[in-house]
């Protein structure tokens, strides 16, 4: 296998058999109808030792936190509320019981913030590396779901929080491991990588605004997520380099490296979206009231499904160059 994205495209069913299904493969989470005023949202992610985490960069507690956080982030990107989670874990012999309990404690602490319940899963052994797969079930009010396919020409492109901090934190962890000595500023970057905070609050504000908007979470990098919106919506997205919110604490790093982390580093789990310019001021104020920072970083135009970076010198096409498991 060379590319997970083309693989997913090939295995995507051509026909839908269940009339309750609203939206399946191709977004952050699947949606289907349930009785009452809500639709159900469900998503799953898998983390593999030495691919998504290493023992020298993340403690077991961090691994648990992150395994659940990445799924909650997908629910947030749909505008939903997380409710339940299931955990399947494949355990090799070199992991101690106490480490495994810490993984579940990391999940439990994060789940308690959203009043989520652990409702099942599976526990098996493996001869290789530890693998943890988490499924999260949530809900979204009927008619309020946020999809990648809603971007229109003339829309603004926005992102919550800052991007690039998780990749910067991972860079520091690779240099010194998690037992190294770090400054307060460096520890903030490391925490961004080890314990990302899903943007549920922002997703709920955006869903309840009742505005047309496209939304995606920044898991594989700003460039990759913007491309997913462009492809789903059939539009061109232009991101302005000087508007990308990169935290000041990494200003000492080479500017080119900072930009690469922001565009391609991934695992920030912020939200990138588009909405009409006329709705932005109202929604921005609602986000600020909830303590959510958000910045306009570009625009949507008519054209091919592509993403470009506007620099001071020229316009550069941004490819899907976030993390790819098969390269």
* CB 229, CB 151: distance < 8 Å: yes
The pLDDT tens digits of the residues spanning 189-200 come to 999 999 999 999
Task: Confirm whether residue 85 is marked as ligand binding.
Answer: no
What is the pLDDT at residue 316?
97
pLDDT surpassing 60 at residue 301: yes
The pLDDT tens digits of the residues spanning 304-327 come to 999 999 999 999 999 987 555 445
Task: Confirm whether residue 74 is marked as ligand binding.
Answer: yes
Task: Confirm whether residue 104 is marked as ligand binding.
Answer: yes
Task: Confirm whether residue 121 is marked as ligand binding.
Answer: yes
With cut-offs at 50, 70 and 90, classify the pLDDT of residue 117. confident
pLDDT surpassing 80 at residue 262: yes
- Please report, rounded to a whole number, the percentage of residues in the chain having pLDDT higher than 90: 78
Task: Confirm whether residue 122 is marked as ligand binding.
Answer: yes
Task: Confirm whether residue 94 is marked as ligand binding.
Answer: no
Task: Confirm whether residue 19 is marked as ligand binding.
Answer: no
The pLDDT tens digits of the residues spanning 12-45 come to 878 877 777 788 877 877 787 777 888 899 999 9
For the beta carbon of residue 324, count every other beta carbon within 10 angstroms: 13
Global pTM value: 0.88
The pLDDT tens digits of the residues spanning 206-237 come to 999 999 999 999 999 999 999 999 999 999 99
Task: Confirm whether residue 220 is marked as ligand binding.
Answer: yes
List Cα–Cα distances, 293 to 107, 160, 284, in angstroms: 26, 6, 8
Domains of the chain: 4-141 (3.30.1330.10), 148-317 (3.90.650.10)
Task: Confirm whether residue 267 is marked as ligand binding.
Answer: yes
């Amino acid at each position: 296998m060379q590319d997970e994205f083309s693989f997913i495209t090939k295995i995507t069913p051509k026909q839908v058999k269940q009339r309750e299904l609203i939206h399946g493969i191709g977004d952050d989470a699947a949606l289907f109808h349930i009785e009452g005023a809500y639709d159900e949202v469900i998503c799953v992610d898998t983390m593999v030792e030495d691919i998504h985490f290493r023992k020298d960069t993340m403690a077991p507690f961090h691994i648990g936190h992150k395994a659940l956080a990445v799924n909650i982030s997908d629910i947030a990107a749909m505008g939903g509320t997380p409710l339940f989670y299931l955990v399947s874990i494949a355990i090799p012999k070199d992991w101690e019981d106490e480490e495994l309990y810490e993984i579940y404690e990391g999940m439990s602490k994060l789940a308690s913030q959203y009043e989520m319940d652990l409702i099942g899963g599976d526990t098996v052994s493996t001869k290789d590396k530890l693998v943890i797969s988490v499924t999260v079930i949530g809900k979204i009010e009927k008619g309020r779901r946020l999809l990648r396919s809603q971007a229109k020409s003339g829309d603004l492109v926005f992102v919550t929080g800052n991007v690039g901090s998780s990749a910067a934190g991972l860079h520091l962890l690779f240099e010194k491991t998690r037992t190294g000595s770090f400054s307060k500023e460096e520890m903030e970057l490391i925490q961004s990588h080890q314990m990302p905070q899903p943007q549920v609050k922002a997703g709920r504000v955006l869903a309840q605004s009742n505005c047309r908007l496209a939304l995606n979470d920044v898991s594989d990098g700003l460039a990759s997520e913007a491309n997913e919106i462009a492809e789903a919506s059939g539009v061109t997205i232009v991101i302005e380099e000087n508007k990308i919110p990169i935290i000041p604490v990494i200003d000492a790093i080479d500017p080119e490296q900072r930009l690469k982390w922001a565009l391609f580093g991934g695992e920030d789990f912020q939200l990138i979206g588009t909405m009409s310019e006329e709705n932005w001021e109202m929604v921005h104020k609602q986000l600020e009231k909830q303590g959510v920072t958000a910045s306009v970083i570009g625009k949507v135009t008519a054209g091919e499904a592509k993403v470009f970076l506007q620099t001071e010198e020229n316009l550069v096409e941004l490819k899907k160059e976030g993390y790819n498991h098969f390269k």
